[in-house]
Amino acid sequence: MSVTDGRQAFPAPAKLNLDLRITGRREDGYHNIESIFCLIDLQDTVYLKPRNDGKIILHNPVDGMPQEADLSYRAASLLQKYARTPAGVEIWLDKKIPTGAGLGGGSSDAATVLLVLNRWWQCGLTQRQLIELGATLGADVPFFIFGKNAFASGIGEKLIGMDIPKQWYVIVKPPVHVSTAKIFTHECLTRDSASSIMPTFQNLQPFRNDMQAVVFKEYPEVWKAYSELSRYGFALMTGSGACVFTACQDRNSAYNIYRQVSDLYEAYLAEGLSKHPLLSV
């Protein structure tokens, strides 16, 4: 955390889905999933500056969208009614996590806003209450509030901490934006994977992503990137895409792969984290 011109900087890390299975469709139209969520050190920075006039101002919405549509703005607006102080804030987003990539950047930004403003505004909400609030914003938000690597179920709001071996990841972003809604409503999507009885990192091997085949069919650019990365090891898509990744046991191995694929694609070299950086603040 640092201070710049009255603004304070807070981290918002990305995530990878090391395993993702869809176990059913709910009556409300959402899907039940089971997934291993892993934090990585690729991160956005969320700058916050308190106001005492009740105004929420997002200075640079992502992709030029109206500020009211941005998850960070919506998170602050949602939390405002719980505030016990004059609740206002200015928000700036320094984006390093690519959007539409399956890395959870927007959800992570929103979670950071909720975590910080819960303290600043003296809302007094518990982690469980913040998770429930975050779930109304998006299925990935609860994980970032939980703040530790986890096995997720439900729509992503039921979280159990999971030990994940220390790994480095090479992530490739093909030049395409995948529509999550399009994938979840696709007629060919697998929706009947069996639920895990004893979910552990080892028991869920070999990992898979139930959305991967449909994304490959609809977005050949993702298939092409996956095929390239598969030359160097086991590759998998994260979330609903578009990013694909491979895991390595040490940084040197990951860096050697990164050097090869970064000549062809937008690529990232990331270290796995055991907890959210805000847990150390």
- Active site annotation includes 15: yes
Give the chain as a DSSP string. Answer: -EEETTEEEEEEEEEEEEEEEEEEE-TTS-EEEEEEEEEEEEEEEEEEEEESSS-EEESS-GGG--GGGSHHHHHHHHHGGG-SS--EEEEEEE--SPSSSSS-HHHHHHHHHHHHHHHHTT----HHHHHHHHHTT-TTHHHHHH-B-EEEETTTTEEEE------EEEEEE-S----HHHHHT-TT----PPPPSS--TTTTPSP-BTTHHHHHHH-HHHHHHHHHHTTSS-EEE-TTSS-EEEEESSHHHHHHHHHHHTTTSEEEEEEEESB-GGGG-
Which residue is catalytic, options 15, 148, 173, 224? 15
Which residue is catalytic, options 44, 140, 210, 224? 140
- Active site annotation includes 140: yes
Residues with catalytic roles = 15, 140
